[in-house]
Chain A
């Protein structure tokens, strides 16, 4: 049987079983096993690929970031961040929808997980928004859209996976994700201001109240400082920064702000131990799928098609990749997508002479967009479930918000200098710069 037919069968099995209701890692593996049997590949080799997919030190950061999110949510310290957000932007037109966006910009820098974000925001802000008369469809749409920021800004788990699998600097991806993440946040606030529901008008919080709210949220807000500061100063790797953040929460935040929660910490560890295994076993299965895709030369076939259209034009290559990932991201989650298509991404990054970090941040932004597009916009699905509105209604409310994402992705493609400015100045090595022979400054590729 020819390689394209085997690949088509593998993909069909994965999508058919997946949409039937088989869990993602098992549907991926079912597809891979079918492909391996037809391609005469040893199934023991496939199991080995599953193991290799998770046996990576860089992936060790994921459980710690998830643990940070779990501890923050269950210890109920997120309300303090929500209060700070209200005092900062609650008076702006749009009211609580502005609060949702600002809250997400804060919380994303702690959890790194879009699903954690959407769960926390729906529970903390969904009810109050309903009481203030916002339509459930709009609530689901704005919460889902805002939570995608977590995929871009540090400590994004998607960036950790991309960096670990693609051999790209994770710290570089974290830094480069700040501009598009910030753009989505500001874009959503502008959208809410001009086109969203007006909301209740609240008086502007006096400076003293803002200062009080900031002081109240100071301990949890140290977490992004620890994560970012540790990584940027080179003191910690992302994994170590995650550990230090966990220690900070357990030893300082919870005892100081919610002492009663201390006895529940073992439960949080049990839950975190379960939760982190879910994306990781999917990573293992997706690694086997990606390996089969590369083995059957599927990646190079797609790369040839893209290069035949785009030549070596980096912008066109990235635009076509965005198109491909938008379609793929509509059906598959970001993490398996990244792993399955990494051989293709690497080939095209080389063909277009594109900076690995730049390509990474463009694709992560595209996959973040895929989280709110049909038919499988995971976070929009979650938000509509939490808020209690049909997915179709939430989708209709989210449609105009897509403009914010399309503008951000286009900007990220065409203005690499702006996107890479931060990593280039903070961690030059992360974007391929190297120290000048004279010892002063860095030499960076164009």
Chain B
């Protein structure tokens, strides 16, 4: 499997449309590029300050990439179900109760996404009245990512809702990938006294 293919999570496959896999892949690549971008801009900021010729606009670039990475990451995490959870009571349920709870969960997320789109867009429009220094770019350029993130979150939530109702939310999942960490090789030279 190529690195790009690995970026599409196979968990909860029954809740995903294959036709949207390219979007998950694209957003993951974008997350990586944004992360790499602000790593680079902070590095350049340190270097230019150290040599006594600071490029002030680098801080603006950094904050733009940082903010975009957060909201794009939040959107793609919705499709991958990677967000932080207090608990997952629903995963212990089966049948109709599970279906009802899962639908409620997605409706709540959809409601929040709707607010992000509507009121985020209002903020975006207002953002044309304020400007960032030193470039003088309207702050709307930063606020634009909020409704965009809302649209993506809504899209992925609808995807899960439709597929969940059609296929059921309750599906056996493959075991979690243990990742590349090799378990420690401890040489046993004594006797256990447990």
| A interface residue numbers (CB < 8 A to B) | 15, 17-27, 29-30, 33, 42-44, 46-48, 50-51, 54-55, 57, 60, 63-64, 67, 73-76, 78-79, 82-83, 86, 90, 96, 99, 119-120, 123-128, 132-135, 197-203, 236, 239-240, 243-244, 246-247, 263-264, 266-267, 269-282, 284, 331-333, 375-376
Contacts and interface: CB of A to CB of B under 8 A. Distances in A.
Given A24-B85, A67-B35, A266 B186 contact: no
Contact of B179 (A123, A279, A376): A123
Nearest to A15: B86
A267 B70 CA distance: 17
Which residue, A15, A22, A29, has most C-beta atoms of chain B within 10 A?
Answer: A22
Interface in B158-194: 178-194
Interface string B87-127: 11111000000000110110011011001101110110010
A289 B36 CA distance: 31
Contact of A202 (B7, B71, B126, B187): B187
A65 to B, nearest CB: 12
B188 A269 contact: no
B77 A20 contact: no
Interface residues of B, number: 78
Contacts of A280: 70, 73
A46 B31 contact: no
A43 B84 contact: no
B183 A55 contact: no
B89 A20 contact: yes
A128 B33 CA distance: 37
B74 A281 contact: yes
A125 B69 CA distance: 33
A284 B145 CA distance: 14
A372 to B, nearest CB: 16
Interface string B144-166: 00100000000000000000000
Given A54-B67, A200-B189, A332-B86, A26 B182 contact: no
B83 A243 contact: no
Contact of B35 (A99, A133, A269): A269
Contacts of A27: 86, 108
B39 A67 contact: yes
B15 interface: no
A30 B66 contact: no
Contacts of A127: 183
Given A24-B86, A277-B73, A79 B31 contact: no
A143 B59 CA distance: 39
A261 B85 CA distance: 31
A133 B67 contact: no
Contacts of A29: 112, 115
Contacts of A272: 32, 35
B178 A123 contact: yes
Contacts of A90: 186
Nearest to B189: A202
A164 B180 CA distance: 34
Nearest to B192: A133
Contacts of B119: 42-44, 46-47
Interface string B1-40: 0010011000000000000000000001111111110110
B43 A30 contact: no
Contacts of B186: 86, 90, 96, 128, 132, 200, 202
